[in-house]
Amino acid sequence: MAYDIPGRDERFTGRTERRDGMTVTDQPFFVSVRVDTLDEAQRYWDVLAEDASVIEPLAASAWSAGFGMLTDRFGVTWSVDVTSAPAT
């Protein structure tokens, strides 16, 4: 569950990046969306990516058929991934 902070008009500050396969951040929290299919992940990604800063593009990874991370236009960092393993 997540909710806004009444009276807060400014964006969250801080930066998140991927460096050598690790996430480096000073953000206070991330929001994670985990889905069963790559198509479903892509639908969420397409909406969240509008005016966002992409940290890691949505793509297959060693642990998932799809993983991506971005900071949305409000300054919230999202992680989107697929529960299934990548195709071999």
57-70 tens-digit pLDDT: 999 988 899 999 99
pLDDT of residue 1: 43
Rounded distance, CA 80 to CA 78, Å? 6
Instruction: Say if residues 81 and 34 touch (Cβ distance below 8 Å).
Output: yes
Rounded to whole angstroms, the Cα distance separating 41 from 66 reads 7
pLDDT of 10 reads 65
Tell me the whole-structure pTM to 2 decimals: 0.72
CA distance 78 to 88: 27
Mean pLDDT computed over 7-18: 68
pLDDT in tens, 23-50: 777 776 788 999 999 999 999 999 999 9
**pLDDT top residue among 63 and 11:** 63
Low-confidence winner among 2-16, 17-31, 63-77 (lowest mean pLDDT): 2-16
